Amino acid sequence: MRAENNCYPVWGEAWDQMEIQAEYFDDGSSFIAIDPVSINPGYLLDFSLFDRYLHKKGQYRFRCLLLDSRSIPKERLMELLRSWDQVYIHKNQNQNYTEYVKNNLEFILNHGEIDVRKKTQTLTTLSTQVINESFAANFASKEDCIQVVQNIEKLISQAMEFISDIESLKGIADLIGHDYQTHTHSIKVGWLTATFINANKELFGVKTKSQLRDIMIQATVAGFLHDIGTIKIPRHVINKEGKLSNIEYVLIQSHTAYSTSLLFETQLPRSSMQTILYHHENEDGSGYPCGLSGDQIPLIAKICHIADVFDALTSKRPYKPARTPYEALKIMAGENPYLEILRQFEAEVSGNPKVPVVAIVRDDYEAKLRRLREREMLEEEAQKRVEARNKLRDKGMSHCFDKDLLRRFILTINKSESFDLSGLL
């Protein structure tokens, strides 16, 4: 439906401050499309709404529909929002719109008329921004650390009803298979963890919805922050396009301890801190950083581990293609016929970051060249062992996970029509 030919401006000082015109002729790059249904009529808006018409080839006419919602009654605003198919905001007011979304995220996510995928896009965009800010925070400042956690808790509290619902997994399915990005990965791990807990609440022995909600918030916060320690890892290691060498692998393993040290003074609950520290512990004791096994590993850390590996396997990396959810879970549930060799490789990496091989070069080269060749041989051997370790892992990872929890995880995401895992059940 065409929008009405009405614009409700606020003239004078407010107009000058916003520097927004009643009409623009633009190629579209200066405007951002938003769903009018996502506007909360009960919230005072600090941005203007525009309609778009094709003016001529490559150019549009953007006409002001609403400069300030305070100029019209709430009931009239609701009528207008429902009559508009799509509206636009000027990019100069994007920060105002972002603040609006932060304060009205719960309204948007729980609105029945907004498509799940649009909700997912809104949540992902806002969550990415919040996590980006968290990764860029000054962790030398206790106040900044606490603010990081508070910002994430506020976002998750508003989003909890949405992300813990099975139907929201349609949004997760849309994010599966993309390039691996630390920030998006953290969002998905927190999201999957919350959905699992809500679908398997009997595991937690809670008596009230309030108690369950507290557990889900604590677990989701941990999921969002579980990789925050990677900011202490050298960028060339984090961003490496090929497989990690043994010593780089050891550096990556340190991120769990770094994460907990960075968050030590944030007053995060014990369960969240344990999840962050232990989310790479394996059921058979072969994980890190402490080599815990079985019941020594906290329940939520086990769940976070499953979500973490599932998303890592279904994300595209420079050195490997993304697995489908079915393929990823088949690997995770599979028994590894080469488990002892894999454990030996993992032990070598953990105990000695250098290659456990002595290279002997018998020739008459100059000493400097001989040492260089020896180093090259060591690096070649290291790379071979890294590749062998990765191949062995893909033969099966069932030793890493609690079998009942993994089965429950498969059953949980299979409840969403976006996943078909019937062959694994």
147 domain residue, yes or no: yes
pLDDT grade for 2, boundaries at 50, 70 and 90: very low
Residue 5 has pLDDT above 60, yes or no: no
pLDDT grade for 59, boundaries at 50, 70 and 90: very high
- Identify the weakest region by mean pLDDT among 119-123, 182-186, 384-388: 384-388
- Identify the weakest region by mean pLDDT among 40-54, 288-302, 378-392, 403-417: 378-392
**336 within 8 A of 397, measured Cβ to Cβ:** yes
Interatomic CA distance for residues 87 and 34, integer angstroms:
6
Q: What tokens appear for 414 in the block?
A: 């299979």
For every residue of 240-261, DSSP letters joined together read: -SSPPPHHHHHHHHTHHHHHHH
- Identify the weakest region by mean pLDDT among 260-274, 308-322, 345-359: 345-359
144 and 86 co-located in one domain: no
**Mean pLDDT confidence for 311-332:** 90
CA distances from 237 to 75, 253, 327 (A): 56, 12, 27
Write down the residue that tokens 């090259």 correspond to.
376
**Per-residue confidence (pLDDT) for residue 341, from 0 to 100:** 77
7 and 138 co-located in one domain: no
Query: What CATH number did the domain enclosing 266 receive?
Result: 1.10.3210.10
Query: Which domain-ending residue is among 37, 67, 96?
Result: 96
**264 within 8 A of 277, measured Cβ to Cβ:** no
**Range of 21's domain?**
1-96
Q: Give the whole-number percent of the chain exceeding pLDDT 90.
A: 46
Query: Which domain-ending residue is among 96, 125, 141?
Result: 96
Residue 66 has pLDDT above 80, yes or no: no
**Per-residue confidence (pLDDT) for residue 37, from 0 to 100:** 87
80 and 147 co-located in one domain: no
Residue 418 has pLDDT above 90, yes or no: no
82 and 126 co-located in one domain: no
Collapsing DSSP states into helix, strand and coil, what is residue 115?
Answer: coil
- Identify the weakest region by mean pLDDT among 215-229, 292-306, 351-365: 351-365
181 and 284 co-located in one domain: yes
64 and 134 co-located in one domain: no
89 and 147 co-located in one domain: no
290 domain residue, yes or no: yes
- Length of the chain, in residues: 425
**Per-residue confidence (pLDDT) for residue 374, from 0 to 100:** 59
372 domain residue, yes or no: no
**Per-residue confidence (pLDDT) for residue 71, from 0 to 100:** 72
The amino acid that residue 419 corresponds to is F
146 and 90 co-located in one domain: no
Residue 8 has pLDDT above 50, yes or no: no
170 and 290 co-located in one domain: yes
138 domain residue, yes or no: yes
Instruction: Domain count for the chain, please give it.
Output: 2
- List, edge to edge, every strand of the sheet that includes 31-34: 23-26, 59-66, 49-56, 87-90, 31-34
Query: Which domain-ending residue is among 45, 61, 96?
Result: 96
Most confident stretch, 40-44, 300-304, 340-344: 300-304
189 and 281 co-located in one domain: yes
251 and 291 co-located in one domain: yes
39 domain residue, yes or no: yes
pLDDT in tens, 185-230: 999 999 999 999 999 999 999 989 999 999 999 999 999 999 999 9
pLDDT grade for 12, boundaries at 50, 70 and 90: very low
pLDDT in tens, 365-403: 566 565 555 556 656 666 666 666 777 777 889 999 999
**Per-residue confidence (pLDDT) for residue 180, from 0 to 100:** 83
355 domain residue, yes or no: no
Q: What tokens appear for 370 in the block?
A: 């001989």
107 domain residue, yes or no: no
79 and 216 co-located in one domain: no
Angle at 246 between CA 286 and CA 181, to 5 degrees: 85
Whether omega for the bond prior to residue 298 falls within 30 degrees of 0, making it cis, is: no
299 domain residue, yes or no: yes
